Amino acid sequence: MQGELKRNLTMLTDFYEITMGNGYFENGLGDREAVFDMFFRKIPDGGGFAIAAGLEQLVEYFNNLKFTPEDIEYLRSKGQFSEAFLDYLANFKFACDVWAVKEGTPVFPYEPIVVVRGPLIQAQFVETMVLLTINHQSLIATKASRVVRAAEGCAVAEFGSRRAQSYDGAVLGARAAYIGGCSGTACTISDRIYGIPAVGPMAHSWVQAFEDEYEAFKRYAELYPTKCTLLVDTYNTLKSGVPNAIKVFDEVLKPKGCRPVAVRIDSGDIAYLSKKVRVMLDNAGYQDVKTMASNSLDEYIIRDLMLQGAKVDSFGVGENLITSKSAPVFGGVYKLVAIANREGELQPRIKVSETVEKITTPDFKSLYRFFNRETGKAIADYVTLHDEVVDDTKSMVIFDPNNTWKKSKISNFEAKPLLTPIFVDGKQVYDLPTLDEIRTYCKQQLDTLWDEVKRFEYPHKYYVDLSPALWEVRHSLLDRHDFTD
């Protein structure tokens, strides 16, 4: 398995998960079947969609759930948990069913991304890691997709390791960025673990370490004649950096029969400088040498550079990508949506709030995406009760669940289920794809979205509709909790 889990992360949980678990156990609810949904409410950066990522690490977590003797002793030292409950944890065996959308799938607010069904104690306990894992990588994959789309086909490398929120943020952030479309990473260990191409030629300190810029370039070219990319902005890009680079290309690489790869600009007016650099390289006979740009880039700066006709072939994007600096939180939540009664029958549960956005959609559910059979484009997502069957051989009317008067009749469509079984009775039933397969799948799925949904500003709203049966369940529960003054 890629990126094998080396640590026991069982205790990476909010403490209230354990106190509630003890409470469920003492009240005879611990083995009561429950269903939880993980979903999010708001798309980062005001975008039209997010990208689901992190499932592989969640699978690793579920497969390694166990309490060590040291864990049990720590909990015993808190003095608030019964010995019977501690014995339950000592013999803990994951027994839940899990469904999830595949990594790389475009996802939208209020639809279930991960569904966990099983004993209440267990389904509740995993909340923190479900959210932590999916929230982080989905955030970075979503940001990476925006940056890559702004680059309009130019390669984008993730350069953010040193700015990431901890070493896990760097390693798994690089993984998520690759899913979102980045072509490589500066994070060496992410190459070693996941096979993401590691890139990165030199820093300004290399140039400064030698007596002069020419000597620095020469020594580097001698060491790496077939992978020579030179950083040309340490002193003066146009008067020093590029002329010295061309001189080294002529004197060191050309006699060896080698061609330089690129020059990198890391400061200044990149649009202006890249045009001048392109002319200088072309005039010197290096039309094939690429220009790479870095320096606190994001999707908006890259988009502006493209609009200004910058002569840039690839980009290195760091802190704004690896931290999703402009929208650093992916607001996924994990909510109870159903629990069995004493007879073992699942009963829907709803969270009601005066904040309308926080009202949940109850019950055990399935999720479909409708595709137009002629264009292959996604029409809408459709959330149903779990046992509902969607008949896509007939026309149907779908409606906005909040503004029910907004209706659309669709025909000639294909309904594809998005939630895939991952675990059954605690046993993994899903074969994890390779990272390259996930990345390819993500690109294919993005192609099913209309360009209007992919706009950076004011994107077209993609609808997530409820089946009439599910809508009725939701509103019957709302009516039951009548707050009329």
pLDDT at position 402: 87
pLDDT digits (tens, 9 = 90+) for 210-255: 999 999 999 999 999 999 999 999 999 999 999 999 999 999 999 9
What's the CATH superfamily of 200-293?
Aldolase class I (3.20.20.70)
Q: Could you tell me which of 385, 452, 339, 366 has the C-alpha nearest to residue 48? A: 452
| pLDDT tens digit at each of 485 positions of the chain | 444 435 789 999 999 999 999 999 999 999 999 999 999 999 999 999 999 999 999 999 999 999 999 999 999 999 999 999 999 999 999 999 999 999 999 999 999 999 999 999 999 999 999 999 999 999 999 999 999 999 999 999 999 999 999 999 999 999 999 999 999 999 999 999 999 999 988 999 999 999 999 999 999 999 999 999 999 999 999 999 999 999 999 999 999 999 999 999 999 999 999 999 999 999 999 999 999 999 999 999 999 999 999 999 999 999 999 999 999 999 999 999 999 999 999 999 999 988 888 999 999 999 999 999 999 999 999 999 999 999 999 999 999 998 899 999 999 999 999 999 999 999 999 999 999 999 999 999 999 999 999 999 999 999 999 999 999 999 999 988 765 55
CA atoms within 13 A on the CB side of 157: 24
CA distances from residue 33 to 7, 13, 122 in whole angstroms, order as listed: 29, 21, 10
Tokens of 453: 């949904």
**Facing residues of 184 across strands?**
157
DSSP designation for 239: I
CATH 3.20.140.10 assigned to 15-140+327-480: yes
Cβ atoms 173, 140 nearer than 8 A: yes
Query: What is the Cα–Cα distance from 262 to 316, expressed in whole angstroms?
Result: 13
CA atoms within 13 A on the CB side of 203: 4
pTM listed for this prediction: 0.95
In sequence order, which residues have a C-beta less than 8 Å from that of residue 3 and are 6 or more positions away?
56, 57, 60, 175, 193, 194
Tokens of 173: 């952030």
pLDDT at position 480: 87
In sequence order, which residues have a C-beta less than 8 Å from that of residue 67 and are 6 or more positions away?
10, 11, 89, 90, 92
pLDDT at position 2: 46
Q: Could you tell me which of 190, 140, 141, 183 has the C-alpha nearest to residue 165? A: 140
DSSP designation for 45: G
pLDDT at position 164: 95
Handedness of CA 88, 89, 93, 95 (dihedral sign): positive
Give the burial class of 451: count Cβ atoms within 10 A of its Cβ; 0-12 exposed, 13-18 middle, 19 or more buried: exposed
Query: What is the Cα–Cα distance from 3 to 23, expressed in whole angstroms?
Result: 35
DSSP per residue, 102-150: PTT-EE-TTS-SEEEEEEHHHHHHTHHHHHHHHHHHHHHHHHHHHHHHH
pLDDT at position 5: 39
Query: What is the Cα–Cα distance from 322 to 173, expressed in whole angstroms?
Result: 6
pLDDT digits (tens, 9 = 90+) for 406-423: 999 999 999 999 999 999
What SS3 state is found at 225? coil
pLDDT at position 56: 98
pLDDT at position 219: 98
Cα 362 to its chain centre, rounded Å, is 25
Tokens of 241: 């950096």
In sequence order, which residues have a C-beta less than 8 Å from that of residue 342 and are 6 or more positions away?
none
What SS3 state is found at 442? helix
Q: What's the length of the chain?
A: 485
Domains in the chain: boundaries:
15-140+327-480, 200-293
DSSP designation for 266: -
pLDDT at position 3: 43
Query: What is the Cα–Cα distance from 475 to 80, expressed in whole angstroms?
Result: 40
